[in-house]
Amino acid sequence: MPDNKYLKRLFQAYYKENQSEIPTINLFEQREFGFIPWEKQIMNRHIGFTSSINLKKYFINNTPKHAYSSGSLFNQPENQDMKDKGYQGCDLIFDIDVDHFYTPCKEDHDLWYCKECGQKGKGMKEKCPKCGKVRLKKLSWICDDCLNVAKKEIIKLIYNFLIPDFNIDIEKMKIAFSGHRGYHLKVEDENVRTLTSDERREIIDFITGENLSFEILGLQEKGGNIFGFSRDTIGWSQKIINSIENLLGKSNIEIETILSDKKKFNLSQNLIENFINFKDEFRKIIKYNHNNNWTLVGFSLNAWDKFLKALIAEIGVEVDVPVSIDIHRLIRYPGSLHGKTGFRVQEIYHDDLDNFNPLDESIEKLDPIVFKSKKRISQKIEISEIEVPITKIKGELFGPYKQGEKIEVPHYFAVFLLCKGVAKTI
């Protein structure tokens, strides 16, 4: 049996047995649904359901590979014509996906092959370092580290931005693990549903710290001195000042490590030493808001600019911008299965977020890894991809594997490799 048929049957059996666990999202009847079948990579969208029972029937009878619903609300979600759909507003959606930003662990587990010259390597590459061409085949993987980074971003989004700056009620935020490399957050609040795309962009600019002007915040050169900003103003200047204070509270060695990080601050040894020597004075200036004179040997406006930009990158949230701006986007339906992993798109209540551990979750109802067998049945499969990186799931290490290798692994891990398309059944 071709593997897609096999996986489809597994998904179908899952949906049959677990219908009651598929949540019904808010204002269900006004949502547009979209599905990608196992047979071809095309999304069937403009589908509406009059009740969640019909959606569950769809899962069982059609068993899609991927399932999505709209952030938008429509009078006629099934209408193909956007202008006749009767747009009624859109939830504010955030997507945090490590596909879109750098994490150090990718150097260990993300693989690429150049289709032009055959070069291969590890890490996150846009083009081949040997021949410069962009035709790369990429194998992106997951581990606890990158999923933790994504989780930290979503926590920052909630507690450092949505609540303090936008006064959004945490009970109106619906959080979900995407089933693969990230998290979604949906704000279901009538006040945000009327936001235009431009207004959504402004919110995103604020949350990412993009286009922030230090000059407007107060950074300026005057009579040979450089003046910084104070914490009196709310928003970004306060966030930056808090972050500087946090940095200054660290030991000299820690500061040196942070400031010399090539991917972030990347300051020269001289500048780092000057900064450390200035540490105690700088703390006083900031603490007492004392004339904000940040003049520091070697730190030109440019150097401050570089320093502050690195701070902003730490403070801001790595959201996937188009998802939040585009009101026609569909996002994965909670409780559905992700066709590239076999994991469940897992809704998480905010109180559970801190301890949530997608690859080894101990609370059964929060566990996205659903294809566990009680009898711990293992399954024989053959690796079809050139290389499969080492993977830790449920506390157990698997791999690395090479093409042609025949392995016997627990059911959930076999399903994961089959869904990832790096193995076949034998």
- Residues in contact with Zn ion, shown as a per-residue x/- string from 232 to 271 under the rule CB under 5 A: ----------------------------------------
Stretch that binds Zn ion, among 83-91, 113-121, 242-250, 379-387 (CB under 5 A): 113-121
CB of 396 to Zn ion, least distance (A): 17
Selection from 386, 375, 382, 384 nearest residue 410 by Cα: 375
Residue 289: Cβ within 10 Å count: 12
- The residue among 21 and 99 lying less far from Zn ion, judged by its C-beta, is 99
**Cβ distance to Zn ion smaller for residue 119 or 378:** 119
State yes or no: residue 136 binds Zn ion (CB under 5 A): no
CB 141, min distance to Zn ion, A: 7
Q: Closest separation between CB of residue 81 and Zn ion, Å?
A: 43
Q: How far apart are CA 189 and CA 160, in angstroms?
A: 19
Please say which residue, 104 or 322, places its beta carbon nearer to Zn ion: 104
Q: How far is the CB of 139 from Zn ion (least distance, A)?
A: 13
What 3-state class would DSSP assign to 381? strand
Per CB under 5 A, 119 contacts Zn ion: yes
Stretch that binds Zn ion, among 28-36, 100-108, 182-190, 378-386 (CB under 5 A): 100-108
The two tokens of residue 175 are 């959080």
Judge whether 347 and 184 are in contact, CB under 8 Å.
no
Paired sense of beta strands 330-332 and 401-402, if any: unpaired
Backbone angles phi, psi at 244, to 5 degrees: -65, -45
> If binding is defined by CB under 5 A, does position 131 make contact with Zn ion?
yes
Determine contact, residues 141/297, Cβ cutoff 8 Å.
Answer: no
Site for Zn ion in 144-163 (CB under 5 A): 145-146
Q: Residue from 55, 92, 128, 393 that binds Zn ion (CB under 5 A)?
A: 128
> What DSSP character marks residue 386?
S
**CA–CA dist 7, 171 (Å, integer):** 36
Report the nearest approach of Zn ion to the CB of residue 83 (Å): 43
Exposed, middle or buried, 374 (CB in 10 Å: 0-12/13-18/19+)?
A: exposed
Range in contact with Zn ion (rule: CB under 5 A) among 49-57, 130-138, 153-161, 169-177: 130-138
Residue of 82, 117, 134, 390 that binds Zn ion (CB under 5 A) = 117
273 binds Zn ion (CB under 5 A): no
N-to-C CA span, the chain: 10
User: How do strand 136-139 and strand 111-114 relate by DSSP bridges?
Assistant: antiparallel
Q: CB under 5 A: which stretch of 108-116, 193-201, 242-250, 391-399 binds Zn ion?
A: 108-116
- Residue 411 and residue 373 in contact, taking contact as beta carbons nearer than 8 Å: yes
Residue 56 in contact with residue 63, Cβ under 8 Å?
Answer: no
Answer yes or no whether residue 116 interacts with Zn ion by CB under 5 A.
yes
For residues 295 and 84, give the distance between their C-alpha atoms in angstroms, rounded to a whole number.
60
Residue type, 306: K
Give the Cα separation of 137 and 233 in Å (integer): 48
Identify which range of 140-148, 181-189, 287-295, 379-387 contacts Zn ion by CB under 5 A: 140-148
Min dist CB 136 to Zn ion, Å, is 8
CB of 393 to Zn ion, least distance (A): 13
Residues that bind Zn ion (CB under 5 A): 105, 114, 116-117, 119, 128, 130-131, 143, 145-146
